[in-house]
Structure 1
Amino acid sequence: MDVPRAPGPSSEDRPLTPGERDHYRRLSQREALRHRRLRYAATSVLLVLAFVLSPLAVVATWADSQVSDTDRYVQTVAPLAKDPAVQNAVTDRLTTRVVDNVDIKGITDALAGALAKTNAPPAIVDRSHLLAGPLKNALTTAVHTVVQKVVTSDQFAELWNDANRRAHAAVVKVLTGEGNSAVQARGDSIVIDLGTVVDKVKQKLVDEGYEKAANIPDVDKTIPLFQTDKLDDAQAAMRLLNVVGTWLPVTVIALAALAVWSAPAHRVTLMTAAIGIGVMMVLLLVGLAVVRHIYLDSVPPATLPPDAAASAYDTLVRFLRDGTRTVLVIAVITALAAYLYGPGRGARFVRSVSTRATGATGRAMAHSGLRTGATGHWLQTHRRWTTGVVIAAAALILLLWNYPTVAGVALILLITVLVLAILAVLAAASTEKGAES
Structure 2
Amino acid sequence: MNPAASQGSPDSGGAAKPEHAVTAEERAEYEPLRHDAAVRHRRGRQAGASLLLLLALLLAPAAVVAAWVQDTVSDTDRYVETVAPLASDPSVQAVVTDRITDRVVDNVDVEAVTDALAKALQDTGAPPRVVEGADALTAPLHNAVSTVVDRIVGRVVAGDAFQQAWEGANRRAHAAVANVLTGDGEGAVRAEGGAVRLDLGEVVDQVRERLVDAGFDKAAAIPDTDRTITLFEAEELGKAQETMRLLDVLGVWLPVLTVVLAVLAVWTAPAHRVMLMITAVGTGVMMAVLLVALAVFRRVYLDSVPPTALPPDAAAAIFDTFVRFLRDSTRTLLVVSVITALAAYLYGPGRPARAVRTTAQRWTTAAGRALGRAGVHTGSTGRRLTDHRARTTGGVIAAAALALVLWNHPTVGAVALVLGVALAVLVVLAILAAAAGPADRAAQ
**Is TM-score (shorter-chain normalized) higher than 0.5?**
yes
1:191 paired with 2:197, answer yes
| Deviation for aligned residue 1:125 | 5.3
- The count of corresponding residues between Structure 1 and Structure 2 is 431
| Deviation for aligned residue 1:323 | 0.8
Question: CA 1:320 to 1:244, structure 2 compared with 1: closer, same or farther past 3 Å?
Answer: same
- Which residue identity is paired with 1:360? A
Question: For the Cα contact (< 8 Å) 2:108–2:218, is it kept in 1?
Answer: no
1:95-244 pair list within 5 angstroms: 95-120=101-126, 129-244=135-250
1:343 paired with 2:346, answer no
Where does residue 7 of structure 2 map in the other structure? Answer: none
Q: 1:71 aligns with which of 68, 77, 100?
A: 77
Q: 10-19 vs 269-278, which deviates more?
A: 10-19
Q: 277-286 vs 351-360, which deviates more?
A: 351-360
| SS of the residue 1:317 aligns to | helix
Q: 10-19 vs 234-243, which deviates more?
A: 10-19
Q: 1:354 aligns with which of 338, 341, 360?
A: 360
Question: CA 1:96 to 1:12, structure 2 compared with 1: closer, same or farther past 3 Å?
Answer: farther
TM superposition outliers: structure 1 runs of 4+ over 4 Å: 9-12, 119-130
Q: 1:417 aligns with which of 423, 429, 441?
A: 423
| Deviation for aligned residue 1:209 | 2.9
1:318 paired with 2:327, answer no
Where does residue 284 of structure 1 map in the other structure? Answer: 290
- Identity between Structure 1 and Structure 2 (%): 57
- Which residue identity is paired with 1:221? R
Q: 94-103 vs 264-273, which deviates more?
A: 94-103
Q: 339-348 vs 176-185, which deviates more?
A: 176-185
- Which residue identity is paired with 2:159? S
| SS of the residue 2:229 aligns to | strand
- CA distance in structure 1 between the aligned counterparts of 2:130 and 2:190, rounded to whole angstroms: 50
| Deviation for aligned residue 1:121 | 5.3
Question: For the Cα contact (< 8 Å) 2:105–2:146, is it kept in 1?
Answer: yes
- CA distance in structure 2 between the aligned counterparts of 1:45 and 1:290, rounded to whole angstroms: 29
Q: 1:307 aligns with which of 313, 322, 325?
A: 313
- 1:353-409 CA-partner distances (Å, limit 9, x unpaired): 111111122222223332222222222111111111111111111112220000000
Where does residue 373 of structure 2 map in the other structure? Answer: 367
- CA distance in structure 2 between the aligned counterparts of 1:345 and 1:224, rounded to whole angstroms: 59
Question: For the Cα contact (< 8 Å) 1:85–1:311, is it kept in 2?
Answer: yes
Q: 165-174 vs 339-348, which deviates more?
A: 165-174
- TM-score of the superposition, structure 1-length normalised? 0.93
- 1:209-235 CA-partner distances (Å, limit 9, x unpaired): 323322333352222222211111111
- CA distance in structure 1 between the aligned counterparts of 2:425 and 2:273, rounded to whole angstroms: 23
Structure 1 regions of 5+ residues with no counterpart?
none
- 1:244-275 CA-partner distances (Å, limit 9, x unpaired): 11222222221111111100101000000000
Where does residue 273 of structure 1 map in the other structure? Answer: 279
- TM-score of the superposition, structure 2-length normalised? 0.91
1:35 paired with 2:41, answer yes
- CA distance in structure 1 between the aligned counterparts of 2:354 and 2:63, rounded to whole angstroms: 35
| Deviation for aligned residue 1:329 | 0.4
Structure 2 regions of 5+ residues with no counterpart?
5-14
- CA distance in structure 2 between the aligned counterparts of 1:165 and 1:14, rounded to whole angstroms: 82
| SS of the residue 2:184 aligns to | coil
| Deviation for aligned residue 1:12 | 6.7
| Deviation for aligned residue 1:61 | 1.5
Question: For the Cα contact (< 8 Å) 1:362–1:435, is it kept in 2?
Answer: no
Q: 2:27 aligns with which of 2, 21, 39?
A: 21
| SS of the residue 2:377 aligns to | coil
